[in-house]
């Protein structure tokens, strides 16, 4: 009886309406307007808040399939760097609304960012085929030019170059004309003997794409120089180089080639050399570029059973001073160390160079380069034991070279005429090794 009285009191306290009250109804699901969500995303993007725009796009994923939402969501993902997700949204928008040029244009831009150049090219072309404003059409054409260049760079390419030149060499033996003692007894004088020569060269280069950002490079080259004077040895040199090249972000590129070089003098094997030559090209600005190269080489000399190991590195800076005239300035540093016959002979070299290249009238190109290098060669000590009048220490020498070149296409035939000249002078603490040399040659080359 007490329990029933308590329940009655509770009933009276809550009020008489409780017994007849209806149970609360379930909340009605609010219908989301895709146009409103798309407008909110667009406002965040226009206010340069891609993070908030991306949050809105992710919050309303259930609107996928509405083209206006997919379009704005794709823009949000693209601005936030999620290119793959942007492509998915733009693709869906274009499938549902294929006749909206703006949707297809953003789809093409996303495909371009994803480096799917074939698909991007098709979408850009379809937009260009519609009635779009001329400024938009010009922008699309610029994209298509870039795509054409990138697609061309990924096609297999083969290039053949052959060249022949005749020239004059004032000192083919790099001989000194100073008097010295032969075996410490007989005074002798070397007279420089000038010479003419015929130089022939053939080069075949092939590039085969491996992936979107890498390719194989191969190059073979044979060069032969025949002298008219029998005292100067005819030289034949063959090179074979191959390796991988990689294209990185922001114009960077890298190469990892291996080169085999074989040299013969008067038909007899003189030297065989194997080298690993890694390279890197690093753009610093639109008009600047830095090129780095390393060297690790092994050479075997057949004439004296000698072998040598070389370590080297170089850095070259290129700066476009005037794009209209093609004026290019390049400077660089190089250093190397060679160890031959288990440290019996060592040579250390360091040098610098500066040069300029410029386009002249009617596609002609001229260049001039000045190089200065200093070397210290310990192998001189063994030779100079025969010459008591000389300073019997390691050779310390500085070599200067001034080189100029001029090239001009011969109509549209694929032939190019060229001329080169060089002046070299070596200053040494050992008179025997000093020399002056002038060389000039001209010829024709053919590119295929």
Report the chain's C-alpha Rg in angstroms: 37
| Chain center to CA of 412 | 28
Say if CB 71 and CB 93 are below 8 A apart.
yes
> Phi, psi (5° rounding) for residue 245?
-125, 145
pLDDT at position 367, please? 94
10-residue mean pLDDT profile of the chain (448 residues): values are 38 36 42 87 91 91 91 92 92 92 92 89 90 88 87 80 91 65 48 81 90 87 88 90 88 93 89 95 87 95 79 94 86 92 77 91 88 81 48 77 93 87 89 84 88
> Whole-angstrom Cα distance, residue 185 to residue 172?
27
Element (H, E) at 18: none
Closest listed residue to residue 429, CA positions, set 383, 400, 387, 398:
398
> Whole-angstrom Cα distance, residue 119 to residue 48?
29
pLDDT at position 27, please? 42
- Concatenating the DSSP letter of every residue in 337-371 gives EEEETTTTEEEEEEEEEEEEEEE-GGG-EEEEEEE
Say if CB 403 and CB 371 are below 8 A apart.
yes
pLDDT, tens digit (0-9, with 9 covering 90-100), for 187-232: 555 555 788 999 999 999 998 888 777 889 999 999 999 988 767 7
- How many CB atoms are located within 10 Å of the residue 156 CB? 10
pLDDT at position 30, please? 45
pLDDT at position 230, please? 66
Element (H, E) at 52: helix 50-59
pTM for the whole thing?
0.66
> Phi, psi (5° rounding) for residue 344?
-70, -40
> Phi, psi (5° rounding) for residue 93?
-65, -40
pLDDT at position 77, please? 93
pLDDT at position 343, please? 54
Q: Which two tokens stand for residue 172?
A: 């083919």
């Amino acid at each position: 009886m007490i329990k029933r009285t308590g329940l009655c009191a509770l009933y009276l306290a809550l009020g008489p309406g409780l017994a007849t009250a209806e149970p609360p109804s379930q909340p009605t699901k609010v219908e989301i307007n895709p146009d409103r969500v798309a407008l909110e995303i667009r406002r965040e993007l226009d206010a340069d808040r891609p993070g908030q725009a991306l949050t809105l796009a992710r919050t309303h994923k259930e609107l996928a399939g509405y083209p206006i939402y997919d379009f704005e969501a794709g823009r949000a993902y693209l601005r936030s760097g999620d290119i793959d997700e942007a492509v998915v949204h733009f693709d869906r928008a274009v499938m549902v609304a294929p006749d909206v040029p703006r949707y297809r244009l953003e789809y093409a831009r996303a495909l371009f960012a994803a480096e799917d150049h074939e698909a991007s090219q098709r979408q850009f072309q379809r937009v260009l085929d519609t009635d779009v404003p001329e400024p938009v059409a010009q922008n699309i054409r610029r994209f298509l030019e870039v795509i054409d260049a990138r697609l061309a760079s990924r096609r297999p390419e083969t290039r053949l170059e052959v060249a022949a030149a005749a020239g004059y060499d004032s000192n083919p033996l790099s001989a000194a004309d100073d008097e010295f003692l032969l075996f410490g007894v007989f005074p002798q004088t070397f007279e420089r003997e000038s010479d003419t020569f015929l130089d022939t060269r053939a080069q075949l280069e092939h590039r085969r794409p491996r992936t979107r950002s890498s390719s194989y490079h191969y190059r073979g080259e044979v060069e032969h120089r025949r002298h008219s004077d029998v005292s100067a040895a005819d030289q034949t040199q063959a090179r074979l180089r191959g390796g991988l090249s990689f294209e990185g972000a922001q114009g960077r590129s890298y190469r990892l080639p291996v080169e085999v070089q074989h040299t013969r003098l008067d038909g007899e094997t003189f030297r065989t050399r194997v080298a690993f030559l890694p390279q890197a090209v690093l753009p610093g600005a639109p008009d600047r570029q830095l090129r780095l190269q390393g060297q690790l080489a092994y050479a075997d000399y057949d004439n004296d059973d000698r072998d040598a190991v070389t370590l080297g590195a170089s850095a070259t800076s290129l700066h476009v001073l005037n794009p209209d005239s093609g004026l290019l300035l390049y400077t660089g540093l190089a250093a190397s160390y060679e160890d031959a016959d288990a440290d019996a002979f060592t040579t250390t070299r360091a040098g610098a160079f500066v040069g300029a290249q410029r386009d002249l009238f009617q596609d002609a190109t001229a260049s001039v380069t000045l190089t200065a290098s200093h070397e210290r060669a310990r192998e001189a000590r063994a030779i100079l034991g025969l010459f008591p009048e000389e300073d019997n220490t390691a050779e310390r020498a500085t070599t200067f070279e001034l080189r100029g070149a001029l090239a001009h296409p011969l109509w549209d035939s694929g032939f190019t005429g060229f001329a080169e000249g060089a002046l070299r002078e070596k200053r040494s603490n050992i008179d025997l090794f000093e020399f002056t040399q002038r060389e000039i040659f001209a010829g024709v080359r053919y590119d295929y």
